[in-house]
Amino acid sequence: MKFEHRAVPIVLVAVLIDVIGFGIVMPVLPALVTELGHVGLDDATRIAGWMLAAFAIAGFFAGPVLGNLGDRFGRRPVLILSMIAFAIDYALMAAAPSLAWLFVGRVIAGIAGATFGPASAVIADVTPPEKRSAVFGLVGAAFGVGFILGPALGGISAGLGLRAPFLIAAICAALNAVVMFFFLPETLAQENRRPFRWSDAHIIGAFRPLFHAGNAGPLLLAWFFWQLAGTVYPSTWSFWAAIRFGWDATAIGWSLAYVGFLTVLVQALLTGRVIKRVGERNAALIALGCASFTLFAYAFIQQGWQVYAFFLIGAFGAFAYPALNGTLSNMVGPSHQGALQGGVSSMNNVAAILGPLIATQALAAGSHHGFDGAAFLVAGALMAIAALIIALFVHLRAPEPEPAPE
């Protein structure tokens, strides 16, 4: 597709490199936690849940701050500095001598990871409202490509040692910072900037523009349940696959790469067409319905090949992000896009605090009692609730004008 601004492909590449860095460490996390903690897989799952919660708590507080800093000083400096922090974080984790250091690394990553808000704001800055859903779909495709390359590289590089994927991730993040420093232009015009106020730099202030958009409440609630359910994948997939199927880091890496491959196909080939044909609301319902069905299926499957078969349906869940995010971004004006995306990032982090704790505790408790599919059962129910909220209470309409920036 033709991009509206040269910043868009640069941000997409930055997201791609970011996700490669994140995905590359996922296959080795179960073995690393069990090694450093001297525990079995069940206990390692619980520990990983708290580790992910620490990551999310840091991002929860950092998201609105970085979003509002982006609205004040521009997107470029915020993104570059955060990528440098990511590189330092992965290098720290590569050398971590204990679980405590892994937790420190996750806190740093949580702060740096809140840059997804400013990255989304770049797209909102330079893309007309009617085209944002399609471009946000490309962000999802970049995530998918990252989850093809990242876990595959993680599974392969694990043969060099459990720390090797973290070193590669550090290099990816550093390259990300270099690319943005030399090639990413500033996209926020001076006339659209606004003063930084701490009263706005929290989740309440970040969502203030949405409180006056009549139908935003149910949509945000559905978004929250969708995010809450989705945390089951990053928080439990590696541990669940090791427990249920006995997969090693390489098998886990290839399964995640397959998930990313299908996500890319859906996002790149179908998302824009489906949203254009059926509308954002119906696309979201299709996505949540397919995702919920697949989660319920994963709770009960017993053979590894079934993971690959059922995700042929689950991949259509990729429609949800562009459909919902495109609608939300159209509800506010240009001077509040950073605040909006920072607030969305923080709401995602609320889900990311609760979700991994719910999912990992369910997996560990269920596994202890002979049913290691409990986490996916809970996630499927949450995803179904999100779909029900949209079906009953969300009626998407044309964006309403925002007041002029202060």
Tell me: do 11 and 130 sit in the same domain: yes
More confident residue, 400 or 60: 60
Q: Are residues 249 and 348 in the same domain?
A: yes
pLDDT, one tens digit per residue, over 15-61 is 777 777 777 777 888 888 888 888 888 888 888 888 888 877 887 77
Residue % of the chain over a pLDDT of 90: 19
Would 404 be classed as within a structural domain? no
Domain ranges, residue 248? 211-396
Query: pLDDT at residue 161 above 60?
Result: yes
Alpha helical stretches, state H, 74-206: 75-94, 99-113, 116-126, 132-157, 164-183, 203-206
Residues 134-157 pLDDT 10s: 777 777 777 777 777 888 888 888
- The answer to the question of residue 402 being in a domain is no
What digits encode the pLDDT tens for the residues 181-232? Answer: 888 888 776 767 777 666 555 555 555 555 544 456 677 788 899 999 998 9
Clarify whether residues 181 and 246 are in a common domain.
Answer: no
Within a domain: residue 278? yes
pLDDT of 254 reads 87
Same domain, 339 and 386: yes
Last residue of a domain, one of 186, 201, 224: 186
CATH number, domain at 114? 1.20.1250.20
Q: What is the mean pLDDT of residues 336-365?
A: 77
Total structural domains within the chain: 2
3-state SS, residue 115: coil
Q: Quick check: is 195 in a domain?
A: no
pLDDT at 279: 83
Residue 305, C-beta contacts closer than 8 angstroms, at least 6 positions apart: none
Give dist(CA 58, CA 358) in Å, integer: 18
Mean pLDDT estimate for the chain: 81
Q: Based on the fold, state whether residues 72 and 129 are members of the same structural domain.
A: yes
Query: pLDDT by residue (tens digit) across 347-357?
Result: 777 787 899 89
Quick count: other Cβ atoms within 10 Å of Cβ 309?
11
Highest mean pLDDT among 10-19, 62-71, 100-109, 225-234: 225-234
Residues 226 and 134 in one domain: no
Q: Are residues 250 and 303 in the same domain?
A: yes
Closest CA to 245 of 300, 290, 302, 164: 302
Q: What is the pLDDT of residue 302?
A: 93
Residue 379 confidence (pLDDT) above 70: yes
Asked if residue 172 lies in contact with residue 24, where contact means CB atoms within 8 angstroms, the answer is yes
Please tell me whether residues 29 and 173 are part of one structural domain.
yes
Per-residue pLDDT of 104-137, as tens digits, reads 888 887 777 656 667 777 887 888 877 777 777 7
**Sequential DSSP letters for 171-214:** HHHHHHHHHHHHHPPP-S-GGG-----TTTSSHHHHTGGGGGST
53 and 88 fall within a common domain: yes
Cβ(299)–Cβ(380) below 8 Å: yes
126 and 174 together in one domain? yes
pLDDT of res. 387: 94
- Whether residue 230 is found in the same domain as residue 162: no
pLDDT score, position 119: 75
Q: Which residue has the higher pLDDT, 308 or 2?
A: 308
pLDDT band of residue 338 (cuts 50, 70, 90) is low
Neighbours of 312 (CB within 10 A): 11
Tell me the C-alpha to C-alpha distance, in Å, between residue 192 and each of 123, 224, 318, 341.
15, 29, 32, 16
Domain boundary among 186, 202, 228: 186
Asked if residue 131 belongs to a domain, the reply is yes
Q: Are 297 and 310 in contact (CB under 8 A)?
A: yes
**What percent of the chain shows pLDDT beyond 70?**
82
Do 251 and 284 belong to one domain?
Answer: yes
| Residue with more model confidence, 12 or 283 | 283
- Residue 392 resides in a domain: yes
The answer to whether residue 200 sits within a structural domain is no
Q: Would 321 be classed as within a structural domain?
A: yes
- Please report the pLDDT score of residue 151 as a whole number: 82
